[in-house]
Amino acid sequence: MNAYKPANYAKEKARQLHNVLYLAAKENPRRRFHALYDKVHRGDILWEAWKRVKSNGGSGGVDGMTIDNIVKEIGEERFVNEIQKTIQNGEYQPLPARRKEIPKADGKMRPLGIPAIRDRVVQMATKMVIEPIFEADFKDCSYGFRPKRNQHGAIKHIRKAVKKGVYWVVDIDIRGYFDNIAHDKLMQLVEQRISDRRVLKLIRQWLKAGFVKDDQFHETELGSPQGGVISPLLSNLYLNYLDTIWEKKFADTGTLVRFADDLVILCKTKEQALKAIDVLKAVFGKLELTMNKEKSKLINLWDDKQGFDFLGMHHRKIPKKLKGNKTVSILRSYPSKKAMKSMRQKVKEVTEPRNRLYWTMNKMVEELNPKIQGWKNYYGLDVFADKFLNKIDWYIRKRITLFWNKKHKRRNKHGKSKLAAMAAQFAGLKKLAS
């Protein structure tokens, strides 16, 4: 398919299509797009979709087909060509997702629906075609799973709002959001922009494909399962209904900041915060969603007695002394208790297994450094976070000393070891704190 094309041909064609559709949607907010299906099965779009799925990696679906199988046994071009023919002929039928449950920080399990590789490619191609249309409608308050937007943008939005005088925060948790999206209402929102029946059929098929768990097939009457390529876009579209209503009617009540299903509303007064809660209840009622009362909170930011967790960070106003003995309260963002616990656990998972005692210090540091750098990039947004990141640095040194002493069969396994510190430093161990 790409043998005679430049290396980035498919990527460039996909970018051009994105720009054309985005500008067309932005220019006419009422326009409904009816000729999209032929773009989904375009050779360049499907090839770029395959490249993205391949780079994302991940395990196979219910058919047992893996990315390695496709690359080494079937052949990439043949695989993509077969998908193209199936879509063009109207014969495409998605397989049910493979249900996998992963542990959450609170001990509960999060269900993931893992589609077959073939379905991931078709979902990716469809997402590439319809995403720019919906991006034209999405609001500035939304940061999750969107091009060129991330958690840091959401946190900066919060800090900017607080500087303008925010004293109350409505911190909302939606109960089982991804599992409770109403298919009929979601499709109504999709149809406000897309009228191509074949594309609408694709989306309905994925929503209704069901899942397999313990060799048992289960139908899906609700929800857009986490794990699907197109699920983040559809879940964003569903809550864009809230974003739109808030921007039109309630922007004066408070500042809404949302990352997927995590959201906060930042208000100047308690009255505004209470009104915000009533508005959210009404909107959630229309969307058939439920506010989790146990996890949702009303926070008073007036002093440093209360703060709130959002996107892995704890946000709290903390007094700071200025010249002239003047004190001001500044919003600080640093790793939450849950995030600190998660970091320690991941360090332990790397350093604890007995078979790791055969590793060299270089190998251990090589395994730890990408994690340390990732945490530093994320949690180092505020210099105040160094106070907490230092604690993780100390824990890493403690675990490395334990590893080193066990490796060298020292009796005092928890004893201090300058040799361990020197070996780790020589191997290039990174630090979290600046």
Tell whether 208 is covered by a domain: yes
Residue with the larger pLDDT of the pair 8 and 118:
118
**What CA–CA distance (Å, rounded) separates 109 from 369?**
28
Identify the band that residue 434 occupies on the pLDDT scale cut at 50, 70 and 90.
Answer: confident
- Are 75 and 205 in a shared domain? yes
- Are 71 and 210 in a shared domain? yes
Contact predicate 50/160, CB 8 Å: no
Cβ-Cβ contacts under 8 Å for 18 (sequence gap 6 or more): 128, 131, 132
- Are 103 and 222 in a shared domain? yes
pLDDT at 22 over 80: yes
pLDDT at 190 over 50: yes
Looking at the chain, the whole-number percentage of residues with pLDDT higher than 70 is 97
Identify the band that residue 7 occupies on the pLDDT scale cut at 50, 70 and 90.
Answer: low
Cβ-Cβ contacts under 8 Å for 424 (sequence gap 6 or more): 361, 364, 365, 397, 400
pLDDT at 327 over 90: no
Identify the band that residue 305 occupies on the pLDDT scale cut at 50, 70 and 90.
Answer: confident
Cα separations in angstroms, 273 against 139, 214, 268, 270: 21, 45, 8, 5
97-103 vs 211-213, strand pairing mode = parallel
Identify the band that residue 316 occupies on the pLDDT scale cut at 50, 70 and 90.
Answer: very high
pLDDT at 4 over 60: no
Identify the band that residue 156 occupies on the pLDDT scale cut at 50, 70 and 90.
Answer: very high
CB atoms within 10 A of CB 267: 25
Average pLDDT over residues 275-295: 96
Cα separations in angstroms, 22 against 19, 135, 237, 258, 423: 5, 7, 15, 22, 53
Cα separations in angstroms, 101 against 67, 97, 112, 227: 21, 12, 6, 11
Domain tally for the chain? 2
Q: What share of the chain is helix, strand, coil (3-state, %, to 5)?
A: 50, 15, 30
Phi first, then psi, for residue 265 (nearest 5°) are -125, 125
Tell whether 222 is covered by a domain: yes
Mind listing the pLDDT tens digit for each residue in 89-129? 999 999 999 998 887 766 677 888 999 999 999 999 999 99
The pLDDT score that the predictor gives to residue 199 is 98
Tell whether 147 is covered by a domain: no
The pLDDT score that the predictor gives to residue 105 is 65
Of 228, 243, 276, which marks where a domain is finished? 228
pLDDT at 416 over 70: no
**What CA–CA distance (Å, rounded) separates 166 from 189?**
33
Identify the band that residue 2 occupies on the pLDDT scale cut at 50, 70 and 90.
Answer: very low
- Helix, strand or coil, per DSSP, at residue 143: coil
The pLDDT score that the predictor gives to residue 180 is 93
- Are 353 and 218 in a shared domain? no
Contact predicate 121/53, CB 8 Å: yes
The pLDDT score that the predictor gives to residue 414 is 65
Q: List, as one string, the DSSP characters of 31-84.
A: --B---HHHHT-HHHHHHHHHHHHHH-----TT---HHHIIIII-HHHHHHHHH
- Are 213 and 341 in a shared domain? no
Tell whether 203 is covered by a domain: yes
Tell whether 343 is covered by a domain: yes
Tell whether 268 is covered by a domain: no
Domain around 197:
3-139+193-228
pLDDT at 76 over 60: yes
Computed over every residue of the chain, the mean pLDDT equals 93
Nearest alpha-carbon partner for 133 in 37, 209, 36: 36
CB atoms within 10 A of CB 161: 21
Residue with the larger pLDDT of the pair 250 and 413:
250
The pLDDT score that the predictor gives to residue 195 is 98
- Helix, strand or coil, per DSSP, at residue 292: coil
Tell whether 109 is covered by a domain: yes
The pLDDT score that the predictor gives to residue 128 is 98
Average pLDDT over residues 302-313: 90
- Are 214 and 350 in a shared domain? no
Between the ranges 223-232, 296-305, 392-401, where is the mean pLDDT highest? 392-401
pLDDT at 304 over 80: no
Average pLDDT over residues 210-229: 89
Average pLDDT over residues 309-330: 88
pLDDT at 357 over 50: yes
177: tokens are 């959001």
**What CA–CA distance (Å, rounded) separates 235 from 233?**
6
- Helix, strand or coil, per DSSP, at residue 107: coil
141: tokens are 């308050």
Of 180, 211, 228, which marks where a domain is finished? 228
- Are 223 and 345 in a shared domain? no
Tell whether 328 is covered by a domain: no
Of 185, 202, 228, which marks where a domain is finished? 228
Mind listing the pLDDT tens digit for each residue in 166-183? 999 999 999 999 999 999
**What CA–CA distance (Å, rounded) separates 131 from 129?**
6
Average pLDDT over residues 40-53: 97
